Structure 1
Amino acid sequence: MNAVADKDIVAETFLVQIGYIPKGYDPKTSASSVRDSVPYRLFMDFFMKNMGKAWAVEELAALLETTKPTIYRHINKLKSMDLLESIDVEFDGAMRKGYRIRYGDLSKAWSFTEANVNMAMENYKRTVSHFQSLAKAEKE
């Protein structure tokens, strides 16, 4: 992907690779393509264009002309990968939970995600090894 100069192609590929947008995604809305879809626009037009800004769900729902549950569904996918962090923001005169790219930097956010994945894999490895030894001991 390093040879590809088109930001949208790289973004679409990345978002499919991490499972945020399913491979072969077919928007069930009036969106004509993946790039016109709510999840893509949420990520690219809001989180990536303004990485340091925390967005209230209500604001995102209004700007993307969709529902709060739809916004939460996509935010939760990104949160589950540790790519987003929550920060209190003011919206319509009230404090709300806002979301932005972790650390305001996608590379740093990805490093955080990668560290968590590596830690989980090490834990899985230890558990499998322990489980194997217990199963082997029981067999003997």
Structure 2
Amino acid sequence: MNESETVMAQKIAQVALAFQTERTGHAPASVNVVLNEDTLVITLHDALTPAEKALTLSAEGAAKVQEFHRQLFQTSAEALQTEIKRITGRDVREAVAEVEPATGTVVHAFTTGNVVQVFLLTTNSGSAVGIES
């Protein structure tokens, strides 16, 4: 990431943190942003509320939490996309969200027609910008 991308990634992380807190009433423990060419990935760590974490203890509950966050993202993504455009100067062509119930991690991926595969590692590695809440 060059310096300009790093500054943009930091601003996006702050916006994502605020949006998640506003939408759910629960701030994630941290936010990581990877901005590379035409792809932006926002990872919200420990983003589930205590009630959602309790639901994820069963397969049925985990599926409900995943669907809830997909719907939440679909209904609120436009405002986040507007902020991304303000920060980067670029339109978002596609957006998707995925929840990992076991860890409480929420991943938002904004792409331009590419296939995005996200792997969450056990150690902190790679070039990403993160903030703690």
Q: Which TM-score band applies after superposition, normalised by the shorter structure?
A: under 0.3
User: Which structure shows the bigger proportion of residues in strand conformation?
Assistant: 2
Bigger RCO of structures 1 and 2 (CA < 8 A, at least 6 apart): 2
More helix by share: 1
TM-score (norm 1): 0.26
Computing the radius of gyration from Cα coordinates, the structure with the larger value is: 1
